[in-house]
Each structure stands twice: as structure tokens, then as C-alpha cells.
Amino acid sequence: MLSIVENDLGTPASRAASRVTLTIDGVPVTVPEGTSVMRAAALAGTQIPKLCATEMLDAFGSCRLCLVEIEGRKGYPASCTTPVAAGMAVRTQTPKLAGLRRNVMELYISDHPLDCLTCPTNGHCELQDMAGSVGLRDVRYGYDGANHRAAQKDESNPYFTFDPSKCVVCSRCVRACDEVQGTFALTIQGRGFDSKVSASQDESFIGSECVSCGACVQACPTATLTEKSLIDLGQPQRSVVTTCAYCGVGCSFRAEMKGEELVRMVPNQDGQANHGHSCVKGRFALGYATHRDRITTPMIRKRIADPWQPVSWETAIAHVASEFKRLQATYGRHSVGGITSSRCTNEETYLVQKLVRAAFGTNNVDTCARVCHSPTGYGLKQTLGESAGTQDFDSVEHADVVLVIGANPTDGHPVFASRLKQRLREGAKLIVIDPRRIDLVRTPHVEAQHHLKLRPGTNVAVLNALAHVIATEGLVDEAFVAARCEGPAFAKWRAFVGESRNSPEALEAETGVRAEEVRAAARLYATGGNAAIYYGLGVTEHSQGSTAVMGIANLAMATGNIGRVGVGVNPLRGQNNVQGSCDMGSFPHEFPGYRHVSDVAVRESFERAWGVPLHDEPGLRIPNMFEAALDGSFKGLYIEGEDIAQSDPNTQHVTAALTAMECVVVQDLFLNETAKFAHVFLPGSSFLEKDGTFTNAERRISRVRRVMAPKARYADWEATQLIAQAMGYPMNYAHPSQIMDEIAALTPTFTGVSYEKLDRLGSIQWPCNEAHPDGTPTMHIDAFVRGKGRFMLTQYVPTTERVNAKYPLLLTTGRILSQYNVGAQTRRTPNNMWHNEDVLELHPHDADERGIADGDWVGVESRAGDTVLRARISDRMQPGVVYTTFHFPESGANVVTTENSDWATNCPEYKVTAVQATRVSQPSEWQKRHEAFTHEQLSLLRGARQTAPR
């Protein structure tokens, strides 16, 4: 069922610039060339009956309802497949057409259960609407003939049902799966009367290749594919546009509500990041927002072994302020700090860094981008002058070559992956650089031209080898480089990458990639037309993360693949607001807009606005905070929305640091892993409960809109404001829009941003200022932000994390489609049906050598620690490399990872840990301790819940 408020025009919009005038029922209509007659009529206010057509899909022409008459043409063409032509005269309503349409509808209705009054889509069913539209009054064939009304319902998917008795075999679901999602999981099985929609090889939906993106459910014109929430709750009454709180694609959704209850999330057709598509998380995995585990009462305790004591907000806030003042009086001003999450809004992260800098008087503030994309901020600032991706997502439609390195878009950024696959099916070439055979390497109708299956930790070597080929085979775009880049830096770089030690042949033994494959990939990237690079945490989470980012920017500059549509450097941000949290001054050395705290003019502008003197030295980064806590100089931490005890590397190091602090304040929806070490718990608000903005991977600022009241009384920004007030610092915002106004006033790249403009334009890609009043889809068009682009030297430095006899395997970690980050949200949804535990993927050879069978318990040991995971044997791994995810705390994936980090930013080296894997029969010692500790902490929480004020 489509959104309750969207008006479907039947076929996609034409992008042609030229316009055509025709008449429809005698009325002149002017539309872009290539528009269908159906859409032209709809734009003119005439709805032609339709069933198989929807503007989310290409025209199909199968239902025969949308027939029209066209002057001078024979027969009754389908208006969905007929493009407009100049001077065309179309009639949509004639007695002959009415008769034909009624005949068609009679056939449909003769094989349809007439249970409209009890049907979940009653009133929003297109079949029902069409029956009314064509004036169907009786069915001459009766209802007793052969029919599908007894067809069995498939309720296997946790989020939607498939009721074939209501199916009209319009193929919209099949086409949505093919064209929009690109999974090709559905098909029409059988012929004629026996035709039916089938998932994979006539399997249940849950057992099929379906990825539950929801495109088929949205496309279905009847109640055949229907959200279970819609069936359970009834139809929504209102629809509010908001932004998904999962990955960095930042999909726009319509939250369809019934009072204060969320009935369903429907991807917004007008959404500029997702254009009406979604994934299983954003579309369906919302149950966490109302999960019973949510804590809605503030709690305090003196020691982490004490029971939680439920208190009023006033008491909790006063306690936080009192403790932080005490700590600063005792241990010094810089003994406290704050951390935000990329799951927070821009306004929230801005406010926390303001609280820390202005009210605490220190720069000890950081954000979880520290552990994911901080190298992007550093690397792109050094080379291009701005810490952000260069394109919008639409740009991929103009790419001829796509290089994906260290990213797994089909799992991590599924909606963008669908766009990418569309372009690849159209013929764009694909280069994948990844240790694993990710799904994108070979997926329906898509196959990578080159998969450089490198050894973990050798990204920079491969990037240098690619650069060597470009520099030595005459593939440099000399004119671009001469006009746009710093000459001396380029000359130095050219000499460096041209050295024989950087040739593919010299590096082959180190990277494990055949030199000829590297050369072919480099030639394709440099000469294949518009070439775009997309990268993820497989680039940044290394000891040379920042070097690799600079290596990527070097490649783009050297080949002139930057500064226009279809090319560029595109970091795929892990979480929804990674870009935004970085923009908002969450790093300890930078004010909002990436300006260093030592910059006197910038600092003075904030001092004037905030009314206090500000510190001019960089503060502690997250891992530095841990070290300082362990040496006794860092004692208090305010953590909003982040779960460092699960997500950060070397868990035992992190928990030791948390234990060493005297006041840990966690503001979150749930008692997460970090909260188990906290002294104050402040209940957080979900994205459904607050106003704000998120900024996605394409620098797109989108509104988050409150659709229900905060379940714990305050939205997160209000809690931060209360702490500031209690600390004696005045913060008196009445609404997040006022926070954005302050951001705009103080940040040159945000000058033109306001809630009013966001409401008007839908979203804005920064920079948005006087020069770019409506935002900037493509950056660095005429010049780089820093003026001339700067080539940086990127010497390959092997990580110190090397395999040896004790630890002969390399562990790399990542994520999967159905779970998200630490899993706090998705683990509390039926998404667990697809992934209910983290597993260790290993190659059959490595498994065989160790006597490990699929499903066995495997001990994974590194120099940091050990844990036990279930084995999954997979030939998508290369021998010597194992893989796991970190979605479940009990897995202890980060017990194994080390505190090795990127040289420039301290982003952890999650992607390379030397380990040994051994078949075992019981959990690790850490897991046993974790289970006991969790049990103890939950019992301390249960006591508080029983006494919490209602």
C-alpha cells in the first residue's frame, strides 16, 4: 500500500529538458518529452484507471485498464507505455473505453475475495478504487469458477504477509524487487491462470532471497503484501516526514501515525537521498522505540555495585552537576568530558560540545566518528580542504566506472547499493577492493570487472600501486592537475608513486593481488569515463586509515575525477549522523565547521556568542580519555547515546577505564553495556520523540520530526540543557530550530541553513551560504575548498599487527544487513530472525586445518583477549582471513580487537587483528564474567524498576 498521502502519477517522471504540448480530453497539457500519456493526464488532473502502473516502476502495460484512444491511431493503446507526442489528442473517457475497462475489472473481481470491510487496506486499495472508477456493478462470470481464493497465506516474514488470494498478478512486486531493490528474489511462476507470484524457487518469503526492503509491499496495489503492523493496528490517520535513524544514507520516511502510535514507516517518494526506497531496518525495525527494555526514569547510584535508585529529573540533574563540579574542584578543570554518538541529532551534538567547552571549560569532547570516519575528516581536509564527501548519491547515475574500496554497500548502505546496482545493470563498470568476496562482486545482473582481493592492512599498498600505474603509464589528467592542484606537491607525489617499490609487481607479495589485475583496474579507473570512488570503514579503520583516504583523494585528483557530477570521493558513513556529528564540532580540536580551537578569530567568535572564555588547546580523544582515566587524571564522563563498552576496541581496556572514573553519566534508551558501568542514567529519547536534523553521507541535512511525546518527559537536547543550567551556564533554547539558528550564525558552511528553508526545500546539502543559497550537491567544481588540491605522500607502512606462529590468522570485523552497529536498536526487533548471533566466518581450508565444522564453537584469541563464536565456513573469505560482526555484546568481538590505531586520528584498527582460532566446547573466561556481570547489573536494574515512580 502506498503512503496514505502520496499521489501516484503512474509512471516515473521524465528528465527531458524539452517539452511537448498535447491535448487530453480537449485540454492542452505541456509536459517534458518522454512523459507517458498516463502521467501527463495525471499532471493535468485526470486519473486514468490503472493497476500495474506506479511511478516507482517503469511502465509495464499488462493490466489493460489504462487504455486510451488517440486521434489518428488504431486501437486502444495503454497510456502507461505510450509516450506523449506534440499535437497528440488523447481521449481518456469514451463509452468504448468504459466498456473495455469494466470487462477487465470483471475478470479481476471474479477471482478476488470480496472481504473489503475486513481487509486491512480497505479505503486505500487500488483494486477497490478501480472497481469504483470503472463503475463495476456486477460480475457476469459469477464467483464459483476456478479461482485462487483458497490460496494459502505466507506469514513467515516478521513484518509483512503475503496473501496470494488477493493477488492480481500485476507484477508490481516482482518489478519492484528487480528494478528498485535489485535482488531479483521474486518471480511470476506458471502461465496463464496458474500464474502466481513466487519468492525464489517457490519458497516462503523468510526462506527466500528476499531482503525485506519493503519495496514489494509498497508497490502492491491490493492487500496481497501488507505490513503486519497495518493489519494489527488499522490504517494510519496522519503522515509526518522524518529521517531514518539508521545508516548514513539518511533515507526520508513518512511516519504514518494513528494518534501517538506508529503504524508504519513508508519511504518518502520525494526523499532526495532515497527517492522512495528503503531497507529492512529503516522500513520495519522500529520496535525498539517502544520496547519494554526502555528506561524512562532517571537513576543514580554511588558505586556500580550498588542498586540503581530511581529519582526525579531534578534530582538526577542536580546530582550530575554536583559531581562534575566536585571532580573539577578536586582533580582540575580537564578531569571531565563528554562523548556523543552519531545516532544523535546535529542539535544534540552541537549542544553537548557547547556544554563541554563552555560549561565544563574544557575541550575534552569527542564523538563516535573517532572510531569510524575520523580519518576521512583528516584525509579529505588535507587534500581537498573539506572534511566531507564530494557528491550527492544521484551522482552515481552518471558514473561509468565505480571503484568500491573497503565498503560493503549491500549490507551497510543498502538503499544506496540499490541505486549503485541500477547503474551497474545499465553498464557501468565495477572495481571492488576488499579482502572478502562481498555480495556486490557478483549479484544478479552485476559482476565486478576486477575484484582486488587484498590482504587486510594493505589498502595503502594497493592504492599506491594503482597510482604507480596511473603516473607511469601516462594516465594522469595533466591539464586538470596543472590547473587545479599544487604543482610542487604533485611533482613530489609523482616521483614518489613512480618509484619501482610502489609498482604492482613489487607489492604483489605484500598485497596478495596479482600485478596484472592491479594494472587493469588502474587503467579502467583512469580511462573508463566518469570514475567515482566509494569507500567505507574498510579504508578508515586501519593504522594507515588517514593515509588511505589521502591516497584515494590523490587518485581522484590525478585522473581529474573530481569536481563534477558522476565522479568524486564518496565516504559511505556508517551511522545516520556521522557527517553531522563531525560538522558540529564534536572533535576535541575543532569548533563547528572544522576550525581549530587555536584559531584566535574563530575562538573569539564563539566566546562572544557563548559569553565565556574558551580553552585554546585540543582536548582528549576517546582513547586518550581511557588512558587518562587509567592514570587517574580523568574522572567524569557524560555520554550521550554511545556505547563505548561494546563498540570500542579492547573491551577490557575500556571497561577498566570506565571503572576507574568516579562519575559516568549515560544518557540512552537502554541500559547498554556502558551504562552497566555508570553512576547516573538519564533516559534518552528515540528519533520519533524529538525534533532536529541529521546530516547524511552526501552532506544532506534533513529534518527529524517529533511524531510522539518523549517517553521520559524530555528530549535529549533538553536534558543537556538542564545539565548546563545546573552547572551554572545559561542555556535557554525553546526549540531545536533555535539551536540550528545559532549553528548557522557561527558556522560559515551553514550560514543559509534554517528549519524554514529545510521545510521548504526538503533537505539541504552544505555548504549552504550566500554563494550557495540552496546548498551544494557537488563540491570542488571550479576550485578546491582549500584553493589548489594538494597531493599527499602516502608511503605504505605495514601494520605492526602481523600474523605469527601464535596468531596465524587475520581477523577483520564489519556489519551485516539486518543488524545495526552495537545492535541496541535492531536486537530489540524481529530482525534477529535473520541474525541472532555474531559468527566467525572462516575459509574451508582454515576450518579444515583446525578440525572446525560449520556451527562449531570456536575460540578466537588475540594478544588483547579471547572470545568464543560459532563458526560459519564460507569461501567468500580468503585463506588466512576470518571475519565477524560486533552486533551482540556477548559475542565479545571487541574483546579481541586491539588499541592499535590510525597514526593521525587514533581511529582504531578494527580491520586487522592477528588471531588464532581453535575448536572449543565452552564460552571464554571473559564471556563467563560478562554473563555474570550482566546478570548482576540487570538485577540491580530490576530493583529500581519495581520502585520507580509511575
Partner 1 sequence: MNVERLVQMANDIGRYFAAEPDREEAVAGIAGHLKRFWEPRMRTAILAHLAAGGEGLDDLARAGVERLATL
Binding site for partner 1 (CB under 8 A): 334, 363-364, 492, 496, 543-544, 546-547, 588-589, 596, 598, 617-621, 624, 627-628, 630-631, 633, 793-795, 797, 899, 901, 903-906
Closer to partner 1 at the Cβ: 638 or 766? 638
In this structure, what C-alpha cell is assigned to residue 885? 560482526
Closer to partner 1 at the Cβ: 27 or 491? 491
In this structure, what C-alpha cell is assigned to residue 127? 483494486
- The least CB distance from residue 366 to partner 1, in Å, is 11
- The least CB distance from residue 917 to partner 1, in Å, is 27
515-527 and 504-511 helices, crossing angle to 10°: 120
Residue for cell digits 571475519? Answer: 883
Closer to partner 1 at the Cβ: 377 or 580? 377
- The least CB distance from residue 555 to partner 1, in Å, is 17
Closer to partner 1 at the Cβ: 596 or 942? 596
Q: Do residues 503 and 465 touch, judged by C-beta distance below 8 A? A: yes
- The least CB distance from residue 546 to partner 1, in Å, is 8
Closer to partner 1 at the Cβ: 106 or 899? 899
Integer CA distances (angstroms), 157 to 225, 287, 830, in order: 11, 15, 9
Closer to partner 1 at the Cβ: 104 or 550? 550
Question: What does the alpha-carbon distance between residue 345 and residue 716 come to, in Å, rounded to a whole number?
Answer: 9
Spatial CA neighbour of 700 closest among 779, 627, 647, 635: 779
Spatial CA neighbour of 824 closest among 295, 301, 193, 374: 295
- The least CB distance from residue 431 to partner 1, in Å, is 25
Q: Do residues 913 and 865 touch, judged by C-beta distance below 8 A? A: no
- The least CB distance from residue 624 to partner 1, in Å, is 6
- The least CB distance from residue 797 to partner 1, in Å, is 5
Provide the greatest CA pair distance for the chain: 91
Closer to partner 1 at the Cβ: 388 or 628? 628
858, amino acid identity: V
374-383 and 545-558 helices, crossing angle to 10°: 40
- The least CB distance from residue 828 to partner 1, in Å, is 36
For 536, left (φ over 0), alpha (ψ -120 to 50), or beta? beta
Question: What does the alpha-carbon distance between residue 882 and residue 891 come to, in Å, rounded to a whole number?
Answer: 15
Q: Do residues 459 and 798 touch, judged by C-beta distance below 8 A? A: no
Residues facing 89 on adjacent strands: 23
For 243, the enclosing helix (H) or strand (E) is strand 238-243
Burial class (CB in 10 A: 0-12, 13-18, 19+), 608: exposed
Question: What does the alpha-carbon distance between residue 738 and residue 735 come to, in Å, rounded to a whole number?
Answer: 6
- The least CB distance from residue 791 to partner 1, in Å, is 12
Closer to partner 1 at the Cβ: 418 or 502? 502
- The least CB distance from residue 617 to partner 1, in Å, is 5
Spatial CA neighbour of 416 closest among 578, 218, 272: 272
Closer to partner 1 at the Cβ: 547 or 696? 547
Other CB atoms within a 10 A radius of the CB of residue 358 amount to 21
Residues facing 882 on adjacent strands: 811
Question: What does the alpha-carbon distance between residue 141 and residue 80 come to, in Å, rounded to a whole number?
Answer: 28
Question: What does the alpha-carbon distance between residue 100 and residue 92 come to, in Å, rounded to a whole number?
Answer: 12
- The least CB distance from residue 242 to partner 1, in Å, is 36
Q: Which residues of 845-866 are buried (b: 16+ CB within 10 A; e: fewer)?
A: ebbeebebeeebbbbbbbebbb
**Do strands 680-683 and 299-300 pair parallel, antiparallel, or not at all (unpaired)?**
antiparallel
Question: What does the alpha-carbon distance between residue 139 and residue 110 come to, in Å, rounded to a whole number?
Answer: 6
Question: What does the alpha-carbon distance between residue 400 and residue 34 come to, in Å, rounded to a whole number?
Answer: 24
Question: What does the alpha-carbon distance between residue 81 and residue 88 come to, in Å, rounded to a whole number?
Answer: 15
In this structure, what C-alpha cell is assigned to residue 108? 479481476
Residue for cell digits 472508477? Answer: 133
- The least CB distance from residue 12 to partner 1, in Å, is 48
Spatial CA neighbour of 469 closest among 583, 559, 404, 390: 559
Burial class (CB in 10 A: 0-12, 13-18, 19+), 516: exposed
Closer to partner 1 at the Cβ: 229 or 794? 794
In this structure, what C-alpha cell is assigned to residue 82? 505510450
- The least CB distance from residue 355 to partner 1, in Å, is 18
- The least CB distance from residue 716 to partner 1, in Å, is 26
Q: Do residues 574 and 582 touch, judged by C-beta distance below 8 A? A: no
- The least CB distance from residue 605 to partner 1, in Å, is 20
- The least CB distance from residue 864 to partner 1, in Å, is 13
Closer to partner 1 at the Cβ: 497 or 944? 497
- The least CB distance from residue 903 to partner 1, in Å, is 4
| CA angle 638–640–641, rounded 5-degree value | 145
Helices within 512-663 (DSSP H only): 515-527, 537-540, 545-558, 578-583, 600-610, 622-630, 644-647, 651-660
Closer to partner 1 at the Cβ: 617 or 849? 617
**What is the rounded end-to-end Cα distance, in angstroms, of the chain?**
39
Integer CA distances (angstroms), 794 to 151, 495, 541, 556, in order: 62, 12, 16, 14
